[in-house]
Amino acid sequence: MRDEEARNILIANDRGGYTVPNGRVYPFQWNWDSAFVALGFATFDRDRAWVEIETLFKAQWTDGFLPHIVFWQDDPGYFPGPERWASGTDPLTSGITQPPVAATVVRALWDQGGVADRPRLEALFPKLMAWHRWFWRYRDRSGQGLVVALHPWETGRDNAPEWDRPGAAIDASDVAPYVRRDTSHLDASMRPTALEYDRYVALLDFGRERGWDHGRIAAENPFQVADVGLTMILLRADRDLLALAEALGRQDDASDLRERIALAEQGVDWLWNEEVGAYGSRDLLTGEPSGFITSASFLSFYAGLKHPDRDARLLGHLDRIGARVRYLTPSLDPADPGFDMMRYWRGPVWAVVNYMIGQGLAETGHGAMAERVRRDTRDLIQTSGFYEAFDPTSGAPTGGDDFSWTAAIWLCWAG
Ligand code: 2M8
Protein backbone atom coordinates (compact mmCIF):
# COMPACT_ATOMS: atom_id res chain seq x y z
CA MET A 1 0.00 0.00 0.00
CA ARG A 2 2.73 2.43 0.97
CA ASP A 3 4.66 1.49 -2.21
CA GLU A 4 2.04 3.02 -4.42
CA GLU A 5 1.82 6.10 -2.22
CA ALA A 6 5.60 6.51 -2.48
CA ARG A 7 5.56 6.22 -6.27
CA ASN A 8 2.73 8.74 -6.44
CA ILE A 9 4.70 11.24 -4.36
CA LEU A 10 7.64 11.05 -6.74
CA ILE A 11 5.34 11.39 -9.75
CA ALA A 12 3.49 14.34 -8.18
CA ASN A 13 6.75 16.12 -7.28
CA ASP A 14 8.17 15.57 -10.79
CA ARG A 15 8.40 18.93 -12.55
CA GLY A 16 9.53 17.42 -15.86
CA GLY A 17 13.06 16.01 -15.74
CA TYR A 18 13.65 16.98 -12.13
CA THR A 19 11.86 16.43 -8.84
CA VAL A 20 11.26 18.99 -6.08
CA PRO A 21 11.82 17.79 -2.49
CA ASN A 22 8.38 19.12 -1.51
CA GLY A 23 6.15 21.33 -3.68
CA ARG A 24 5.52 24.07 -1.12
CA VAL A 25 8.56 24.27 1.13
CA TYR A 26 11.28 23.44 -1.42
CA PRO A 27 10.02 24.27 -4.95
CA PHE A 28 13.35 23.85 -6.83
CA GLN A 29 15.80 21.08 -7.69
CA TRP A 30 18.10 20.22 -4.78
CA ASN A 31 21.38 18.44 -5.43
CA TRP A 32 21.53 15.49 -3.02
CA ASP A 33 17.75 15.17 -2.84
CA SER A 34 17.74 14.48 -6.59
CA ALA A 35 20.42 11.83 -6.27
CA PHE A 36 18.38 9.92 -3.66
CA VAL A 37 15.22 10.47 -5.67
CA ALA A 38 16.87 8.70 -8.61
CA LEU A 39 17.22 5.58 -6.44
CA GLY A 40 13.46 5.70 -5.87
CA PHE A 41 12.62 6.15 -9.56
CA ALA A 42 15.01 3.31 -10.40
CA THR A 43 12.63 0.87 -8.69
CA PHE A 44 9.93 1.48 -11.32
CA ASP A 45 11.32 3.69 -14.12
CA ARG A 46 15.05 3.39 -14.76
CA ASP A 47 15.06 5.88 -17.61
CA ARG A 48 13.49 8.52 -15.37
CA ALA A 49 16.12 7.79 -12.72
CA TRP A 50 18.97 8.60 -15.14
CA VAL A 51 17.15 11.72 -16.34
CA GLU A 52 17.03 13.08 -12.75
CA ILE A 53 20.83 13.02 -12.55
CA GLU A 54 21.31 14.17 -16.14
CA THR A 55 19.11 17.21 -15.48
CA LEU A 56 21.06 18.06 -12.33
CA PHE A 57 24.36 18.00 -14.23
CA LYS A 58 22.97 20.37 -16.87
CA ALA A 59 23.43 23.01 -14.16
CA GLN A 60 27.14 22.21 -13.63
CA TRP A 61 29.49 25.19 -13.85
CA THR A 62 32.55 25.23 -16.11
CA ASP A 63 34.89 24.79 -13.11
CA GLY A 64 33.21 21.47 -12.22
CA PHE A 65 31.14 22.92 -9.37
CA LEU A 66 27.65 21.41 -8.96
CA PRO A 67 25.25 23.76 -7.13
CA HIS A 68 23.06 22.80 -4.21
CA ILE A 69 19.92 24.35 -5.79
CA VAL A 70 18.97 24.74 -9.45
CA PHE A 71 16.32 27.36 -10.16
CA TRP A 72 14.76 25.95 -13.33
CA GLN A 73 11.86 28.33 -12.72
CA ASP A 74 11.28 31.01 -10.12
CA ASP A 75 8.93 30.51 -7.19
CA PRO A 76 8.20 33.06 -4.47
CA GLY A 77 7.58 30.31 -1.90
CA TYR A 78 11.24 29.91 -0.93
CA PHE A 79 13.93 32.20 0.42
CA PRO A 80 16.70 32.71 -0.65
CA GLY A 81 15.69 32.49 -4.30
CA PRO A 82 17.65 33.15 -7.51
CA GLU A 83 17.85 36.92 -7.04
CA ARG A 84 19.70 36.76 -3.74
CA TRP A 85 22.19 34.21 -5.09
CA ALA A 86 22.69 36.09 -8.39
CA SER A 87 24.85 33.36 -9.91
CA GLY A 88 24.68 34.89 -13.39
CA THR A 89 24.60 31.38 -14.86
CA ASP A 90 22.08 29.69 -17.15
CA PRO A 91 20.18 28.12 -15.48
CA LEU A 92 20.38 30.28 -12.36
CA THR A 93 21.70 28.35 -9.36
CA SER A 94 22.97 28.78 -5.84
CA GLY A 95 26.72 29.29 -5.33
CA ILE A 96 27.36 26.54 -2.78
CA THR A 97 27.31 22.76 -3.14
CA GLN A 98 25.94 19.74 -1.22
CA PRO A 99 27.06 16.21 -0.23
CA PRO A 100 28.29 14.36 -3.36
CA VAL A 101 26.12 11.25 -3.37
CA ALA A 102 25.58 11.35 -7.15
CA ALA A 103 28.50 9.06 -8.12
CA THR A 104 27.31 6.42 -5.67
CA VAL A 105 23.81 6.59 -7.14
CA VAL A 106 25.09 6.43 -10.72
CA ARG A 107 27.07 3.34 -9.82
CA ALA A 108 23.89 1.74 -8.45
CA LEU A 109 21.99 2.61 -11.65
CA TRP A 110 24.83 1.17 -13.74
CA ASP A 111 24.98 -2.01 -11.65
CA GLN A 112 21.24 -2.52 -12.08
CA GLY A 113 21.07 -1.71 -15.79
CA GLY A 114 24.30 -2.94 -17.35
CA VAL A 115 25.57 -2.42 -20.89
CA ALA A 116 22.41 -0.84 -22.28
CA ASP A 117 23.17 2.19 -20.10
CA ARG A 118 26.80 2.51 -21.18
CA PRO A 119 26.30 5.60 -23.39
CA ARG A 120 24.58 7.38 -20.49
CA LEU A 121 27.37 6.41 -18.12
CA GLU A 122 30.01 7.57 -20.62
CA ALA A 123 28.30 10.95 -20.89
CA LEU A 124 27.96 11.43 -17.13
CA PHE A 125 31.32 10.09 -16.01
CA PRO A 126 33.46 13.13 -16.97
CA LYS A 127 30.96 15.42 -15.26
CA LEU A 128 31.07 13.43 -12.04
CA MET A 129 34.85 13.37 -12.25
CA ALA A 130 34.97 17.14 -12.74
CA TRP A 131 32.81 17.69 -9.65
CA HIS A 132 35.00 15.43 -7.52
CA ARG A 133 38.10 17.23 -8.79
CA TRP A 134 36.41 20.50 -7.83
CA PHE A 135 36.10 19.22 -4.25
CA TRP A 136 39.74 18.13 -4.18
CA ARG A 137 40.92 21.47 -5.53
CA TYR A 138 38.75 23.98 -3.70
CA ARG A 139 37.68 22.15 -0.57
CA ASP A 140 40.89 20.46 0.45
CA ARG A 141 43.41 23.14 -0.31
CA SER A 142 46.06 21.73 1.98
CA GLY A 143 45.62 18.20 0.60
CA GLN A 144 44.62 16.52 3.87
CA GLY A 145 42.00 14.24 2.34
CA LEU A 146 39.13 16.15 4.00
CA VAL A 147 36.17 18.17 2.73
CA VAL A 148 35.76 21.69 4.05
CA ALA A 149 32.25 23.16 4.19
CA LEU A 150 32.06 26.91 3.64
CA HIS A 151 28.37 27.14 4.49
CA PRO A 152 26.23 25.02 6.88
CA TRP A 153 23.82 24.38 3.98
CA GLU A 154 26.61 22.58 2.13
CA THR A 155 26.66 19.86 4.76
CA GLY A 156 22.94 19.16 4.24
CA ARG A 157 22.63 19.19 8.06
CA ASP A 158 21.80 22.87 8.19
CA ASN A 159 21.47 23.59 11.90
CA ALA A 160 23.56 20.77 13.38
CA PRO A 161 25.14 22.05 16.62
CA GLU A 162 28.55 21.38 15.06
CA TRP A 163 28.28 24.76 13.32
CA ASP A 164 27.49 26.81 16.44
CA ARG A 165 31.01 27.62 17.60
CA PRO A 166 32.60 28.01 14.13
CA GLY A 167 29.54 30.08 13.13
CA ALA A 168 30.31 32.67 15.80
CA ALA A 169 33.08 33.97 13.49
CA ILE A 170 30.47 35.05 10.93
CA ASP A 171 29.61 38.74 11.18
CA ALA A 172 25.83 38.69 10.87
CA SER A 173 25.29 42.08 12.53
CA ASP A 174 24.67 43.92 9.29
CA VAL A 175 22.80 41.52 7.00
CA ALA A 176 20.69 43.24 4.36
CA PRO A 177 16.98 42.76 5.12
CA TYR A 178 15.25 39.57 4.07
CA VAL A 179 12.03 37.68 4.73
CA ARG A 180 12.11 34.01 5.61
CA ARG A 181 9.56 31.83 3.85
CA ASP A 182 10.21 28.51 5.61
CA THR A 183 8.42 29.60 8.78
CA SER A 184 5.31 30.55 6.81
CA HIS A 185 4.99 26.89 5.73
CA LEU A 186 6.21 25.16 8.89
CA ASP A 187 6.16 25.72 12.64
CA ALA A 188 9.19 27.79 13.66
CA SER A 189 10.01 25.27 16.42
CA MET A 190 10.95 22.77 13.68
CA ARG A 191 13.29 25.16 11.89
CA PRO A 192 16.64 26.89 12.46
CA THR A 193 16.68 29.99 14.68
CA ALA A 194 16.79 33.65 13.57
CA LEU A 195 20.50 33.88 14.46
CA GLU A 196 21.26 30.81 12.35
CA TYR A 197 19.38 32.28 9.40
CA ASP A 198 21.25 35.58 9.74
CA ARG A 199 24.49 33.61 9.52
CA TYR A 200 23.28 31.61 6.49
CA VAL A 201 22.35 34.80 4.67
CA ALA A 202 25.54 36.63 5.70
CA LEU A 203 27.65 33.81 4.22
CA LEU A 204 25.55 33.80 1.06
CA ASP A 205 26.07 37.56 0.66
CA PHE A 206 29.80 37.07 1.32
CA GLY A 207 30.09 34.64 -1.59
CA ARG A 208 27.95 36.70 -3.95
CA GLU A 209 30.02 39.82 -3.20
CA ARG A 210 33.06 37.83 -4.35
CA GLY A 211 31.36 36.92 -7.63
CA TRP A 212 31.18 33.26 -6.61
CA ASP A 213 34.90 32.96 -7.24
CA HIS A 214 35.41 29.60 -5.50
CA GLY A 215 39.16 30.02 -5.08
CA ARG A 216 38.83 33.40 -3.45
CA ILE A 217 35.92 32.36 -1.24
CA ALA A 218 37.83 29.26 -0.07
CA ALA A 219 40.73 31.50 0.97
CA GLU A 220 38.70 34.23 2.68
CA ASN A 221 35.56 32.61 4.08
CA PRO A 222 35.02 33.20 7.82
CA PHE A 223 33.42 29.75 8.22
CA GLN A 224 35.59 26.76 7.30
CA VAL A 225 34.70 23.44 8.87
CA ALA A 226 36.06 20.00 7.95
CA ASP A 227 32.69 18.26 7.91
CA VAL A 228 32.56 14.61 8.89
CA GLY A 229 29.47 14.06 6.70
CA LEU A 230 30.89 15.56 3.51
CA THR A 231 34.25 13.89 4.08
CA MET A 232 32.79 10.39 4.56
CA ILE A 233 30.33 10.80 1.69
CA LEU A 234 33.04 11.96 -0.74
CA LEU A 235 35.29 9.09 0.29
CA ARG A 236 32.46 6.65 -0.43
CA ALA A 237 31.65 8.39 -3.71
CA ASP A 238 35.34 8.32 -4.75
CA ARG A 239 35.31 4.54 -4.31
CA ASP A 240 32.18 4.23 -6.45
CA LEU A 241 33.59 6.56 -9.08
CA LEU A 242 36.73 4.42 -9.14
CA ALA A 243 34.61 1.35 -9.91
CA LEU A 244 33.02 3.28 -12.78
CA ALA A 245 36.41 4.51 -14.05
CA GLU A 246 37.61 0.90 -14.10
CA ALA A 247 34.47 -0.25 -15.93
CA LEU A 248 35.09 2.41 -18.59
CA GLY A 249 38.86 1.81 -18.77
CA ARG A 250 39.73 5.38 -17.72
CA GLN A 251 43.19 4.68 -16.32
CA ASP A 252 44.29 8.24 -15.48
CA ASP A 253 41.10 9.04 -13.63
CA ALA A 254 41.28 5.69 -11.82
CA SER A 255 44.80 6.36 -10.61
CA ASP A 256 43.89 9.86 -9.37
CA LEU A 257 40.91 8.38 -7.55
CA ARG A 258 43.08 5.72 -5.90
CA GLU A 259 45.43 8.42 -4.69
CA ARG A 260 42.57 10.48 -3.24
CA ILE A 261 41.03 7.46 -1.53
CA ALA A 262 44.36 6.66 0.16
CA LEU A 263 44.69 10.30 1.23
CA ALA A 264 41.17 10.42 2.67
CA GLU A 265 41.68 7.15 4.55
CA GLN A 266 44.51 8.90 6.39
CA GLY A 267 42.79 12.29 6.57
CA VAL A 268 39.78 11.02 8.51
CA ASP A 269 42.07 10.35 11.49
CA TRP A 270 41.93 14.09 12.14
CA LEU A 271 38.17 13.79 12.61
CA TRP A 272 38.37 10.92 15.10
CA ASN A 273 37.77 12.21 18.64
CA GLU A 274 39.36 9.72 21.01
CA GLU A 275 37.85 11.30 24.09
CA VAL A 276 34.32 11.11 22.75
CA GLY A 277 34.88 7.83 20.92
CA ALA A 278 33.37 9.02 17.65
CA TYR A 279 34.08 10.83 14.41
CA GLY A 280 33.07 14.49 14.37
CA SER A 281 33.61 17.69 12.41
CA ARG A 282 36.48 20.07 13.16
CA ASP A 283 36.91 23.79 12.70
CA LEU A 284 39.69 24.18 10.15
CA LEU A 285 40.51 27.72 11.28
CA THR A 286 40.95 26.97 14.98
CA GLY A 287 41.55 23.20 14.85
CA GLU A 288 38.87 22.75 17.50
CA PRO A 289 36.93 19.45 17.38
CA SER A 290 33.16 19.81 17.63
CA GLY A 291 32.89 17.21 20.39
CA PHE A 292 29.36 16.27 19.25
CA ILE A 293 28.07 12.84 18.34
CA THR A 294 25.67 13.27 15.43
CA SER A 295 24.16 10.86 12.92
CA ALA A 296 27.02 11.82 10.58
CA SER A 297 29.47 10.31 13.08
CA PHE A 298 28.23 6.89 11.93
CA LEU A 299 28.93 7.44 8.23
CA SER A 300 32.41 5.94 8.54
CA PHE A 301 30.88 2.54 7.75
CA TYR A 302 29.33 3.95 4.56
CA ALA A 303 32.78 5.37 3.71
CA GLY A 304 34.10 1.81 3.81
CA LEU A 305 36.39 2.41 6.80
CA LYS A 306 37.21 -0.57 8.97
CA HIS A 307 38.94 0.11 12.25
CA PRO A 308 38.01 -2.49 14.90
CA ASP A 309 38.61 -0.32 17.99
CA ARG A 310 36.82 2.70 16.62
CA ASP A 311 34.00 0.61 15.16
CA ALA A 312 33.41 -1.02 18.55
CA ARG A 313 33.09 2.39 20.19
CA LEU A 314 30.74 3.63 17.47
CA LEU A 315 28.57 0.52 17.79
CA GLY A 316 28.57 1.05 21.57
CA HIS A 317 27.16 4.54 21.01
CA LEU A 318 24.50 3.16 18.68
CA ASP A 319 23.52 0.59 21.32
CA ARG A 320 23.35 3.26 23.99
CA ILE A 321 21.38 5.70 21.81
CA GLY A 322 19.12 2.93 20.54
CA ALA A 323 18.21 2.03 24.14
CA ARG A 324 17.32 5.64 24.86
CA VAL A 325 15.13 6.44 21.85
CA ARG A 326 12.58 4.28 20.08
CA TYR A 327 13.90 5.07 16.58
CA LEU A 328 17.48 5.20 15.36
CA THR A 329 19.31 7.34 14.28
CA PRO A 330 18.65 10.70 15.94
CA SER A 331 20.58 13.50 14.24
CA LEU A 332 22.07 14.45 17.62
CA ASP A 333 22.98 12.24 20.57
CA PRO A 334 19.92 12.35 22.90
CA ALA A 335 22.32 12.58 25.87
CA ASP A 336 23.43 16.00 24.60
CA PRO A 337 21.84 18.94 26.46
CA GLY A 338 21.08 20.56 23.08
CA PHE A 339 19.07 17.55 21.85
CA ASP A 340 15.68 18.73 20.53
CA MET A 341 13.53 15.96 19.09
CA MET A 342 11.61 18.30 16.77
CA ARG A 343 14.19 20.87 15.66
CA TYR A 344 15.49 19.83 12.29
CA TRP A 345 19.10 18.57 12.42
CA ARG A 346 19.31 18.70 16.25
CA GLY A 347 17.36 15.56 17.00
CA PRO A 348 14.97 14.26 14.32
CA VAL A 349 15.65 11.11 12.29
CA TRP A 350 16.20 11.47 8.53
CA ALA A 351 15.45 8.54 6.25
CA VAL A 352 18.31 9.33 3.86
CA VAL A 353 20.89 9.39 6.64
CA ASN A 354 19.55 6.11 8.01
CA TYR A 355 19.86 4.64 4.52
CA MET A 356 23.56 5.56 4.36
CA ILE A 357 24.22 4.35 7.91
CA GLY A 358 22.29 1.12 7.33
CA GLN A 359 24.00 0.40 4.02
CA GLY A 360 27.40 1.05 5.54
CA LEU A 361 26.74 -1.18 8.55
CA ALA A 362 25.51 -4.01 6.32
CA GLU A 363 28.50 -3.73 3.99
CA THR A 364 31.01 -3.80 6.86
CA GLY A 365 29.53 -6.86 8.53
CA HIS A 366 27.33 -5.34 11.22
CA GLY A 367 24.11 -6.94 10.02
CA ALA A 368 22.10 -6.82 13.24
CA MET A 369 22.55 -3.09 13.75
CA ALA A 370 21.98 -2.48 10.03
CA GLU A 371 18.67 -4.29 10.32
CA ARG A 372 17.64 -2.27 13.37
CA VAL A 373 18.27 0.96 11.46
CA ARG A 374 16.28 -0.26 8.44
CA ARG A 375 13.40 -1.53 10.56
CA ASP A 376 13.17 1.72 12.50
CA THR A 377 13.07 3.68 9.23
CA ARG A 378 10.32 1.42 7.90
CA ASP A 379 8.28 1.70 11.11
CA LEU A 380 8.58 5.49 11.14
CA ILE A 381 7.29 5.82 7.58
CA GLN A 382 4.69 3.10 8.02
CA THR A 383 3.28 4.80 11.11
CA SER A 384 3.65 8.49 10.31
CA GLY A 385 3.87 8.84 6.54
CA PHE A 386 6.38 10.32 4.10
CA TYR A 387 7.57 13.27 6.15
CA GLU A 388 10.76 15.25 5.93
CA ALA A 389 11.99 13.90 9.30
CA PHE A 390 10.70 12.25 12.49
CA ASP A 391 10.90 12.63 16.26
CA PRO A 392 13.15 9.73 17.38
CA THR A 393 11.30 9.30 20.67
CA SER A 394 7.65 9.23 19.53
CA GLY A 395 7.94 8.86 15.75
CA ALA A 396 5.87 12.04 15.29
CA PRO A 397 6.41 13.72 11.92
CA THR A 398 8.38 16.96 11.57
CA GLY A 399 8.86 19.26 8.57
CA GLY A 400 7.18 18.96 5.21
CA ASP A 401 4.89 16.12 4.09
CA ASP A 402 4.87 14.13 0.81
CA PHE A 403 8.64 14.35 0.86
CA SER A 404 10.46 13.02 -2.20
CA TRP A 405 13.60 11.56 -0.66
CA THR A 406 11.62 9.84 2.10
CA ALA A 407 9.44 8.21 -0.58
CA ALA A 408 12.55 7.22 -2.54
CA ILE A 409 14.22 5.61 0.47
CA TRP A 410 11.04 3.66 1.18
CA LEU A 411 11.06 2.28 -2.36
CA CYS A 412 14.74 1.42 -2.63
CA TRP A 413 15.45 0.22 0.90
CA ALA A 414 13.17 0.72 3.89
CA GLY A 415 9.82 -0.55 2.65
C1 2M8 B 1 17.26 21.47 3.90
O2 2M8 B 1 18.04 22.57 3.50
C3 2M8 B 1 17.53 23.72 2.83
C4 2M8 B 1 18.72 24.55 2.35
O5 2M8 B 1 19.48 23.81 1.45
C6 2M8 B 1 16.60 24.57 3.68
O7 2M8 B 1 16.32 24.23 4.83
O8 2M8 B 1 16.15 25.60 3.18
C9 2M8 B 1 18.22 20.36 4.35
O10 2M8 B 1 17.54 19.35 5.04
C11 2M8 B 1 18.97 19.78 3.14
O12 2M8 B 1 19.75 18.69 3.52
C13 2M8 B 1 17.98 19.36 2.04
O14 2M8 B 1 18.71 19.02 0.88
C15 2M8 B 1 16.99 20.49 1.71
C16 2M8 B 1 15.87 20.02 0.77
O17 2M8 B 1 15.29 18.83 1.24
O18 2M8 B 1 16.37 21.00 2.89
Long-range contacts of 287-293 (CB under 8 A, 24+ apart): 288/165, 288/166, 290/161, 290/162, 290/165, 292/160, 292/161, 292/162, 292/332, 292/333, 292/336, 293/317, 293/332, 293/333, 293/336
**Distance in angstroms (rounded) separating the CA atoms of residues 48 and 41:** 6
Residue 39: what pLDDT? Answer: 98
Q: Which of 22, 24, 29, 30 to mutate to test the pocket of ligand 1 (most atoms within 8 A of CB)?
A: 30
What is the whole-number distance in angstroms between the Cα of residue 153 and the centre of ligand 1?
A: 7
**CA 360 vs CA 369, 370, 407: distances in Å:** 10, 8, 20
Residue 344: what pLDDT? Answer: 97
pLDDT at 1 over 80: no
What is the whole-number distance in angstroms between the Cα of residue 77 and the centre of ligand 1?
A: 14
pLDDT at 136 over 80: yes
C-beta 32 within 6 A of ligand 1: yes
C-beta 33 within 6 A of ligand 1: yes
Share of the chain above pLDDT 90, in %: 100
Residue 409: what pLDDT? Answer: 99
Q: Tell me if the bond preceding 80 is cis, omega within 30° of 0.
A: yes
| Residues 353-409 pLDDT 10s | 999 999 999 999 999 999 999 999 999 999 999 999 999 999 999 999 999 999 999
Residue 135: what pLDDT? Answer: 98
| Residues 277-331 pLDDT 10s | 999 999 999 999 999 999 999 999 999 999 999 999 999 999 999 999 999 999 9
C-beta 196 within 6 A of ligand 1: no
Q: Mean per-residue pLDDT for 220-230?
A: 98
Residue 263: what pLDDT? Answer: 98
Atom number, ligand 1, closest to the C-alpha of residue 26: 16
Residue 273: what pLDDT? Answer: 98
Binned at pLDDT 50, 70 and 90, residue 114 comes out as: confident
Share of the chain above pLDDT 70, in %: 100
Q: Mean per-residue pLDDT for 24-31?
A: 98
Residue 133: what pLDDT? Answer: 98
- Torsional sign, CA 264, 266, 271, 273: positive
C-beta 392 within 6 A of ligand 1: no
Domains (range + CATH), the chain: 2-414 (1.50.10.10)
Binned at pLDDT 50, 70 and 90, residue 349 comes out as: very high
